[in-house]
Amino acid sequence: MRVAFLVAPEGVEQIEMTEPWEALTATGETPQLISTKQGRIQAFDHLDKADTFPVDQTVADASVDDFDALVLPGGVANPDFLRTDPKAVAFARAFFDAGKPVAAICHASWTMIEADVVRGRRMTSWPSLQTDLRNAGADWVDEPVVVDEGANTLVTSRKPGDLKHFTEAMLDAFGGSRS
């Protein structure tokens, strides 16, 4: 299974990217880092710079057909940047259009709001996004992880403290998409 991790060149919350990545790798999956620019992305530990990671492919060159699932890590700056990039938004929306599973944590819902794919979905997020999600038509709840089985499976979670629940639900959702 190939799993796309869509991140901006800067601002992803490192642990929200690395923990799901490591969990997928441990089960034999193949995560790929997709970004809007080539080179390396700069991850953060909240507001402090953390590690950098090599980009496998740019969103302009990536196709949803090459992937089985999508992970949208959070961080405040990461999804805020992605939602202003039309190709990143279209790439995220394409997973919903194709009925493929998506997992998003923390502020990552901003990218999905911009992609207009949250209407009618039961979701959670970082608490400050609840009004944004409700205004976009989502049913926002304050729970560690929410799995919505709409047209595609959508796993959402609130924060790094919920990563254990998020990762377990993500692995279950992505396991169900294996052919």
Contacts of 130 (CB under 8 A, 6+ apart): 140, 142
- Is 177's pLDDT higher than 80? no
pLDDT of 47 reads 93
Q: How far apart are the first and last CA of the chain?
A: 9
50-100 pLDDT tens trace: 999 999 999 999 999 999 999 999 999 999 999 999 999 999 999 999 999
pLDDT of 179 reads 37
Query: Hey, which residues does 35 pair with through a beta bridge?
Result: 58
* Separation between Cα atoms, residue 129 and residue 41, nearest integer Å: 24
Tell me which residue range forms the domain holding 86: 2-175
pLDDT of 122 reads 98
pLDDT of 150 reads 87
What's the number of domains the chain is made of?
Answer: 1
* Separation between Cα atoms, residue 104 and residue 115, nearest integer Å: 13
Question: Model pTM?
Answer: 0.96
Mean pLDDT, residues 2-12 = 97
**Residue 159 to residues 66, 74, 112, Cα–Cα distance (Å):** 29, 8, 17
CATH number of domain containing 24: 3.40.50.880
Mean pLDDT, residues 25-53 = 97
159-175 pLDDT tens trace: 999 999 999 999 999 98
Residue 178 pLDDT class (50, 70, 90 cuts): very low
Mean pLDDT, residues 139-161 = 97
Tell me the catalytic residues.
107
* Contact call for residues 120 and 153 (beta carbons, < 8 A): no
Q: Kind of pairing, strands 139-140 and 122-123?
A: parallel
